[in-house]
Structure 1
Amino acid sequence: MTSLRLGYLYGLGAYLLWGFFPLYFKLLRPAGPLEILAHRVVWSVAFVALLLVALRNVGFLRSLLRRPRTLAGIGAAATLIAVNWFTYIYGVNSDRVVETALGYFINPLVVVLLGVLVLRERLRPAQWSALGVGALAVAVLTVDYGRLPYLALILAFSFGGYSLVKKRLGLPAAEGLFVESAVLSLPALGYLGWLAATGDAAFGHVSAGHTALLVLAGALTAIPLLLFAGAANRLPLTALGMLQYVAPILQLGCGVLIFHEPMPPARLAGFALVWLALIVFTADAVRQARHTRRLRLDGTVPATAAVATSR
């Protein structure tokens, strides 16, 4: 099997797992969102620690302790991913799967916006057009909901910020996830201890299956991230960008077809505008990648410059 085909399999596996997450998180009720988040953190640490021990790759911790700026960045990434995870769990278990799917549809546009605001990147006209259509979509959905779709916006901005921090840190997937989860593990363990002391914990009090599902949260958090890392190392950015829409499409399908959440005409119009923005955004990214590839083959653009241009 070629490296490219393996990359597509890894990427598809990651996004399929993320796409069906609503079905999994629904099964974790009656545990509350904070309890589910705490278990997700604690069991992620345990799962990735076992993986790193099996791979004999624990020496990186010593080098990290000598890099305070990297540790601060990891703390920021951990905070952002905790906000993202909690918001997603809360959205799914409060019957707002459609709104959570919207968050991951608009996430690519938010990443572009953060590039402008934080990294001072300059956008091409098509990218500005996509952002404008995306802003119009949020306005339409605000009218439909009677409020800002704040769950979607929190998901999009928290994951966009997390992606930005992770890009700057440059840590491998397993090591990064372990340290981020370890940062969150002390408050998570403290909260779980408090729930147990007050008798409010769902863990161990619902059924054996429910307890097993909470424990599996660690593996189900880590596995798609590791698959994604494998895909990112093998696929062009444009291919990876196209695959990222698999997850929110599946999440939207879960919300509408399985959980029967409403999709009135105004909401559908808002989603249609989001999809239009993504079509413009993706078509421009594909065009730019092809242009850069041609220049590189002609020897006009060095390989390093080509990579920078394709972002």
Structure 2
Amino acid sequence: MALMARGDLPIQTVVETEDNPARTGLIHALCAYTIWGFMPLFFKQLVEISALEVVAHRIVWSVPLLLVILWQRKRLGEFFGVMRDSKTLRLMLISSALIATNWLIYIWAIYQNQILAASLGYYLNPLLNVVLGYFFLSERLKPVQWLAVAMAAAGVAVLAIETLATIWISLALAASFGLYGMVRKVAPVKSVPGLTAETTLLFPIAAAFAGWAFLYDASPGLGYSLRTDIYLILGGAITATPLLFFASAAKRLSLATLGFVQYIGPTIQFLLGVFLYNEPLTVSHMICFGLIWAALVLYSGDALVSARKSSTAKA
């Protein structure tokens, strides 16, 4: 997600004359990834509602909130610029389809007690980004990065032998979010205006489906109870809040630091799946996660060393 927010502005409530921007950035990064990590707790409260309807409401309630945020930060012009640029708009159509697919699979996985599979997908995402950069953006891979990718692939292969019926969840989440990040990297759009454009493009379909569900679907949904209504409306805030924290963190922290902090999210999900929701942790799971964690240590350690060398050279 660092690819989407590079160069974005800080949260408005942050005092820009702060004495220690790195400390503020780290706090905001921790807030963002902690919220993302605990999201299964939120969506578990909506299991009686279809994942498709939850995604629809997440989009519907995100749009007004994001527009208000842009208006308050005097950045509506960026949003309108995106909507007027045909080339950028085509990229936003692709990214909006990818992020909606990612949200839908993620919520469905939570409903199906597959939080471990979801966390694995987000562990895989940084390594998949390396592969996508190699094939689509002509980025070169170092031997350490190739080794990390090979270790992750071996872990997935081990798990696939035992859980072929669910491994697709991890791969689909990693692929949809990895491709989303790649599209957002090449699109000349910052994080909040970009998300506003994406949800605005999705809004007509989402609003139509939410309206149909409200009028004709007999299953629980909007209007079923005050508790349900609050959770559905809060879906907009759950979408926007961690992104705003992340936008602030990305401006203040190096990508290497963000690379380490990003593993907080899937780690929290992993712990929730095992210890709170009692999802089975098999030997294949342990081998798979062990290989991927080792791969991420190699990958992140190499990124940190490269960042230090670059900083030393600049000094």
- Shorter-chain TM range is over 0.9
CA distance in 1, matches of 2:151, 2:99: 27
Please give the residue correspondences for 1:1-311 in structure 2 after superposition, counting only pairs within 5 Å.
Answer: 1-147=19-165, 149-200=167-218, 202-297=220-315
Residue identity opposite 1:245 in structure 2: Y
Residue 13 of structure 1: how far off its partner (Å): 0.3
- Give the counterpart letter for 1:217 in structure 2: G
Count of residue pairs brought into register by the alignment: 297
Q: What CA distance in whole angstroms lies between the structure 1 residues aligned with 2:146 and 2:181? A: 21
Give the aligned residue type for 1:93: Y
| Alignment CA distance shift 1:61-1:14 (3 Å) | closer
Q: Deviations over 1:89-143 (max 9, x none)?
A: 0000111000000000110000000001101111100000001001101100101
Q: Which residue of 2 aligns with 1:305?
A: none
Q: 1:62 to 1:265 in 2, by over 3 A?
A: closer
Preserved contact between residue 67 and residue 196 of structure 2 (Cα < 8 Å): yes
User: What SS does the corresponding residue of 1:59 show, helix, strand or coil?
Assistant: helix
Counterpart CA distance in 1 for 2:288 and 2:79 is 46
Instruction: List per-residue Cα deviations over 1:138-193 (Å, max 9, x = no partner).
Output: 10010121346111111111111111111112422221111110011111011112
* Corresponding letter in the other structure for 1:207: S
Gaps of 5+ in 2: 1-18
Between the aligned partners of 1:150 and 1:157, the Cα distance in structure 2 is: 10
Unaligned 5+ segments in structure 1 are: 298-311
CA distance in 1 between partners of 2:210 and 2:83 (Å): 27
Measure how far apart 1:201 and its partner are: 5.0
CA distance in 2, matches of 1:141, 1:219: 35
1:141–1:148 Cα contact (<8 Å) kept: no
Give the counterpart letter for 1:70 in structure 2.
Answer: T
Q: Once the two structures are aligned, what percentage of the paired residues are identical?
A: 36
C-alpha distance 202-46 of structure 1, shift in aligned 2 (>3 A): farther
How many angstroms apart in 1 are the aligned matches of 2:41 and 2:104? 16
Letter in 2 for 1:105: Y
TM-score, structure 1 normalization: 0.92
Distance in structure 2 (CA, Å) of the matches to 1:275 and 1:225 = 25
> CA RMSD, aligned part only?
1.4
Partner of residue 15, structure 2: none
Q: TM-score normalized by structure 2?
A: 0.91
Once the two structures are overlaid, the 10-residue window that deviates more, 118-127 or 194-203, is 194-203
